[in-house]
Amino acid sequence: MLNYLDNSDFNSLSDKEKMIFIGQDPGDHLLDSRKVDYNLRLLKVNITEIDKSLSSEILIANLYSTIILKRKAYIYCEMNPGDFTTLNKSLMDKINFREWQTTIFSFEKRGYIKRIKGTHFANSGLYTRIKPTEKFIKQIIENYNISYKSLIQTHHLIELGNGKKVNHSAKRVFDIERRLKRYNDLLTNTDIDFPSTVLDNSNNYNLAYRTYKRSFKNSFSKNGRFYGPCWQSIPKEERAKILINGENVVELDYEGMFINLLYSIRNLNMFDYISVDEDPYYLEKYNRKIVKSAFTACVNKRCNKKNINHVVSVLAKKLLKDNFVKGINYREILDQLSIKHSKIGDMFYQDIGDDLCFMESRIADLVLNSLSKKHIPTLAIHDSFIVPISKSIELYNSMINAFNTLGYTSLPNIRGYPRV
C-alpha cells in the first residue's frame, strides 16, 4: 500500500488499487457499477412513502434501471456541490445539490440503500456508490409494481449538432416541437410490451428510451432523422414480437428508400428503368446486405473510389459479423450498381447522405403526423414503421400519401415484415 499522497502516483493506480488505498471494499463487485443518469425519470408512478422531489424520482429510477435491468451491483454519483454546477449545464432539469444530498441521506436512514462513501483526493478520487436493500426492493419496487414500463428518458426534442443552440421561439422550431410532443405524448400513453428475448438482454438496450427527438446537422435542411426510442436498435426479427396495447404488430418499410430518393431528385421514377418486382439492390453473385452497405457508404460517407473498399469493409464487418468475407471488391460492386441505375450513377460518392436523410425525415414526419392525429401509436425506424396489425391499412396509405404530398416521383415498394 502507498504511504504517501502524491497525486501522480494516485492517478496511476487502477480503480481497484485506489479503493484499497482509501479503505473502500476492494471487491470486484464495487467496480461493477453504472453512473447515475440524471435525465432518467419515473412514468406515472405515485409513491406515497417518499417525498415527491425530483431527486427521489431520479434515484428510484436509476436504482431500478441499473440494478434490476442492467444487472449492475451499484450506481455511483457525484456528492460534491461543484460537480452539480457542471452537470446542470447539460441536464434537462437542474438538480439542486442540497436536495440530492438530502435524498441520499434520507434513503440511507430509512434502510432503502447501502452507501459506500466516496473520496476526493487532490485532483482525483472515487465516486460514492449506492445499492438498494431488500427493503427497497420489497417496499418500493414490488409494492408499486415498478417495471421497465415505469421508466422514461428525458431529452431535448431538437438537436442541431456542433453545440449549436436551438431558438425555441422560432416558428419552425415551434412547429417541429409541437408535432414531436404530440407523437411522444401518444407513445407515453401507449402500452408497449417487448418480447422476453429483449427483456432477457435488457443490458443491451435502454428500455427507458421511448420517445423521439429530431437530430439535424448544422441546419434545418440537413438530416433531421427521428432518433431516441430503444426499438430502433432492436433486431427486426425481435421487433416483430412487440405488442402495442396488447395487439400484434406489423412493420412496413420503404424498400430501397435512398435509391428511390436519388431518382426523385432527378424527377424520375425508378420503375421506368427496372422491373416493378425487382430489388433495387439486386446484383447477381453478391449478397444483398453487401450491396446495400456499399451503396449506403458511398452516399453517406466522405469517400471516393480510392478508399471505398476500406470504408465499406469496416461497415460490412459490423453488419455481417461471422459471415463477413475478406477481399471483396466494393468498388466493383458499386460500378455494377451504377450501371444498373445509370440515371443516378453519377450521384454516387457525392456525400449527400444528410440531404437524403432530410428527405426521408420529411416523409417520416408526415406519416407520424397523419397517424398520431388518428391516435394510432406508431414506432418509427427511419424508413419503416410499426403499428398494431389492425392499423396496417392506415399505415400503408399514410406512407403512400406522404411520398406523394412531398412531390417525390419515385415511390418505393412498401414491404411488410413478415412480408404482406
Q: What is the pLDDT of residue 15?
A: 67
Cis peptide before 418 (omega within 30 of 0): yes
Instruction: Give 420's pLDDT tier (boundaries 50, 70, 90).
Output: very low
Task: Tell me: pLDDT of 227 over 50.
Answer: yes
* pLDDT at residue 419 is higher than 50: no
- Are 69 and 125 spatial neighbours (Cβ–Cβ below 8 Å)? no
> Does some domain include residue 276?
no
- Residue 293 is predicted with a pLDDT of 86
Stretch 4-24: mean pLDDT = 61
81 located within any domain: yes
Which pLDDT band holds residue 2 (cuts at 50, 70, 90)?
Answer: very low
Kindly state whether residues 145 and 165 are assigned to the same domain.
no
* pLDDT higher than threshold 70 for residue 26: no
Is the CB of residue 180 less than 8 Å from the CB of residue 234?
A: no
- What pLDDT score was predicted for residue 4? 42
Domain coverage including residue 333: 281-340
Q: Are residues 254 and 368 in the same domain?
A: yes
Number of domains the chain contains? 3
In a domain, 105, yes or no: yes
Neighbours of 225 (CB within 10 A): 20
Are 291 and 361 found together in one domain?
no
Distance CA 167, CA 170 (A): 6
Tell me the CA distances in angstroms from 347 to 221, 373, 412, one per residue in order. Answer: 19, 37, 18
Q: What mean pLDDT, rounded, does the chain reach? A: 89
**Residue 173 sits in the same domain as residue 293:** no
The pLDDT assigned to 417 comes to 54
Q: Radius of gyration (Cα) for the chain, nearest Å?
A: 25
User: Same structural domain for residues 204 and 250?
Assistant: yes
pLDDT-above-70 percentage for the chain: 90
pLDDT the model gives residue 29: 64
pLDDT of residue 18: 67
By the 8 A CB rule, do 410 and 263 touch?
Answer: yes
More confident residue, 84 or 301: 84
Indicate whether 252 and 164 sit together in one domain: yes
Q: What does the chain come to in residues?
A: 420
Please give the average per-residue pLDDT across 52-80, as a whole number: 91
| pLDDT at position 50 over 90 | no
Report if residue 1 sits inside a domain: no
State the residue for C-alpha cell 402495442. Answer: 244
pLDDT confidence bin for 211, thresholds 50/70/90: very high
Domain boundary, last residue among 95, 127, 150: 150
Q: Residue 61: its pLDDT value, please?
A: 96
Least confidently predicted of 21-30, 63-72, 323-332, 394-403: 21-30
Q: Is the pLDDT of residue 152 over 90?
A: yes
* 119 within domain boundaries: yes
Same domain, 297 and 242: no
pLDDT higher than threshold 60 for residue 8: no
Q: Which three cell numbers stand for residue 374?
A: 388518428
Same domain, 145 and 164: no
Please give the pLDDT value at position 52. 86
What stretches of 64-131 show up as alpha helix (H) in DSSP?
Answer: 81-87, 97-109
Alpha carbon distances (Å) from 5 to 1, 20, 119, 338, 385: 11, 14, 13, 65, 58
Map 23-61 to HEC letters.
CCCCCHHHHCEEECCCCEEECCCCCCCCCCCHHHHHHHH
pLDDT of residue 142: 93
In contact, 167 and 220? CB cutoff 8 Å: no
In this prediction, residue 202 has a pLDDT band, given cuts at 50, 70 and 90, of confident
CATH code of 197's domain: 3.30.70
pLDDT at residue 315, as a whole number: 76
Sheet holding 33-35, edge to edge: 33-35, 74-77, 128-132, 113-116
Domain check: are 177 and 311 in the same one?
Answer: no
> Looking at residues 282-298, what average pLDDT do you find?
90
Residues 202 and 90 both lie in one domain:
no
Domain match, 141 and 166 both: no
